A and B are shown apart, each in its own frame.
Chain A
Amino acid sequence: MNAIADEDKDAGRFQSSWYAIQECVRSALSSIRAHGLRSSLTMLGIVIGVASVICVIALVQGLSESISSQLQGLGGSTLTLRSYTPFEDQLRGKHNRLRLQDLDELRHRIDGISNITPIVFAGGGMNSQVRYGANTATGQMFGTTANYQDVQKIFPRSGRFLTDSDDASRRRVVVLGEKMRRDLKLPENPAGEFVQIGSEWFKVVGVLEPRGEMFGMSQDNYLLMPFQTALVVNGVVMQPDLWITFSVNDLEEMENTKLRVAMLMRQLHQIRDKQPDDFVVEASDMIAKTFKQISTTITLVVAGIVSISLLVGGVGIMNIMLVSVTERTREIGIAKALGARRQYVLMQFLIEAMVLAVIGGLIGIVLGFGLSYGIAQSIPDFPSPSVPWWAVLGACAFSGLIGVIFGILPASKAANLAPIDALRYE
């Protein structure tokens, strides 16, 4: 009876710690349950904090996902070549351009590319108003070739697209975006109608399928005409600046092709070694990628700001844990008399603070989900929210961390109580 049982010594360190943690969680749950109302009020701070973080992330992510998916239409094997002017130069009124000669050289001197599609902006060079009868509309106008529809994955809803022969014979034909058709009050199938741009008349041959809205702005307020037509109409005023998109036949050659195009352009533009490029060659999904980056940054910044409210929740936990330590001084004394070490008491109260915070966090996640769906539903046309897994994990981890940080003070207060004083505490 008097011998210290040997089996105790055999219990492995790891095993013992595991049992101890189990016991701490159990005791934490029972203590939280014993003070139901108080615990739930304490959690409220964390619940609200986590709920708002999750809600904000869900809404921003939902929005950005819906935008990204619209940007995704651009093919992965497509490169865009366009001019680039540094901002300071723009202020000085200097504008770098891609010229028709660049297009020709690209066509003839680069292998392994196809679907070479030039785009020229027509709006700037002339009055960008379109008129049909008494109705006028303004929007983006550009000239391009038949390949455009394959590269941009935009097809006519009714009528036809521009053809190579339109381009070759510089026909005065246009294809309209859906919004522009509506603004001009053209019939549902407007093929055969004539619209006036500046002083020129154009025949409408087709309407493009709608692309929807982004940031509340219509993406269908535009008009396409054959590339050569645009140059004729446009050329009088100024030298055109081209965008050239093209597909790389072999995806593996993507980077090499990019390099070759860049070298060709530097040569054509007579750029010396130390000078920077006056053009950009970029993958078309670049926009999507850049956007994704921006949206992630926005999400993190907003979530960071909102998570400051979590600190308030943490202070609430610290407050209640301090009260709890005082209330349970006797209990701590008993535990110490029975042989609980400082470390164990510290762990017990830390775990209790953590459990409080994590339960609050879980409730907050559910609440945040619900809240974001509610908000998304009540705003018309708002994309449905999406909560990424990292936000859920992050919210859990962060509330746990809050528990630990704000639990340290009360827990070390408990751990440092002298057993004899704690036992005598009334």
Chain B
Amino acid sequence: MIHLQGIGKTYRLGETEFAALTDVDLTVERNEFVALTGASGSGKSTLMNILGCLDSPTAGTYSLDGEAVAGLDEDQLARVRNRKIGFIFQNFYLMPRVSALDNVAQPLIYRGVSPAVRRERAREALTRVGLAERTHHKPNELSGGQRQRVAIARALVGRPELLLADEPTGNLDSRTAKEIMALLADLHRDGVTLMIVTHDPGIASHCHRVVRLHDGRIAEDFTQSPRPVDLTEQHTPVHA
């Protein structure tokens, strides 16, 4: 479903060029559960931005769900993001002034869905993440874990091809982090394709496949049997 070939990204800072990614080939099939790991500066955020159509590569081709994405203009990329990708961010990135329900419904606005249908689908998505009771709370009235659930519901509401999570548990305490991982694993069982960007091997251990980046290249790419999320176990995050 995802097919990257020879992807490169170079930034130019005045005279000096800096290669964030070099010659990355990556194929991800439907319903995979992939961890994208690497130290900070390894290029994993850049790769995630390219995968999420937030940024364009300077070299290579990228096809998502059979559509060549690399050459699209900004508005076409917006359309791809809206329909094929659900984002989950470390800092949740919810709209502060609107309710959980409206936050979740937001991507559907850009699709031209009617308010009634938007609300209906947002309610379904919030129920799916276990927040059916909190639809009218604003983000600042919710706990960190609840906020991330709202963000996950927002990512799900458009029924995207791919869920992209950038350090989804980075701002959460370990207990809540595990709940969120359990939810993501659960979504994967429902058939969602998931990619998690993380520097935390503990998080990566729950994934079926691990892609490790080093200095802008893929250093490791292996499948593993994922460690089940044990909500009772005392989790200690290990920093790479």
Using a CB–CB distance below 8 Å, which chain A residues touch chain B?
1-5, 7-8, 11, 13, 15-17, 19-20, 22-23, 30-31, 34, 330-331, 333-344, 419-420, 423
Known: A337-B52, A337-B87. A3 touches B159 (CB 8 A): yes
Contact B190 A334 (CB under 8 A): no
Contacts of B114 in A (CB 8 A): 11, 15, 19
Closest Cβ–Cβ distance, residue B155 to chain A (whole Å): 9
State in angstroms the CA–CA spacing of A392 and B228 once bound together: 68
Known: A7-B117, A339-B110, A341-B110. 13 other contacts (CB 8 A): A2-B160, A4-B83, A11-B112, A19-B112, A20-B110, A330-B93, A331-B95, A337-B93, A338-B87, A339-B82, A341-B75, A341-B79, A420-B55
> B206 within 8 Å of A by Cβ?
no
Closest Cβ–Cβ distance, residue A361 to chain B (whole Å): 25
Contact A338 B110 (CB under 8 A): yes
> B132 within 8 Å of A by Cβ?
no
B residues 75-134 in Cβ contact with A at 8 Å: 75, 78-79, 81-84, 87, 89, 93-95, 97-98, 106-107, 109-115, 117
Contact A8 B75 (CB under 8 A): no
State in angstroms the CA–CA spacing of A2 and B31 once bound together: 9
User: Which are the 6 A-B pairs with shortest beta-carbon distances?
Assistant: A339-B82, A16-B112, A339-B110, A338-B107, A11-B112, A341-B78
What is the size category of the interface that chain B forms with chain A? 35 or more
Contact B109 A2 (CB under 8 A): no
Select from chain B the residue with minimum beta-carbon distance to A16.
Answer: B112
Contact A2 B159 (CB under 8 A): yes
Across chains A and B, the number of contacting residue pairs, with CB separation under 8 Å, is 100
Known: A2-B192, A3-B159. A339 touches B154 (CB 8 A): no
Which of B30, B78, B89, B158 is the most central at the interface, judged by chain A CB atoms within 10 Å of its CB?
Answer: B78
Interface SS, B side: loop
Contacts of A15 in B (CB 8 A): 112, 114
Contact B93 A11 (CB under 8 A): no
Contact A11 B81 (CB under 8 A): no
A-B contact pairs, 12 of them (CB 8 A): A4-B83, A8-B113, A19-B112, A22-B115, A23-B109, A31-B97, A338-B106, A339-B83, A339-B110, A340-B82, A341-B75, A341-B110
Select from chain B the residue with minimum beta-carbon distance to A419.
Answer: B54
Which of A1, A17, A31, A344 is the most central at the interface, judged by chain B CB atoms within 10 Å of its CB?
Answer: A1
Contacts of B135 in A (CB 8 A): none
Contacts of A334 in B (CB 8 A): 93-95
Contact A1 B191 (CB under 8 A): yes
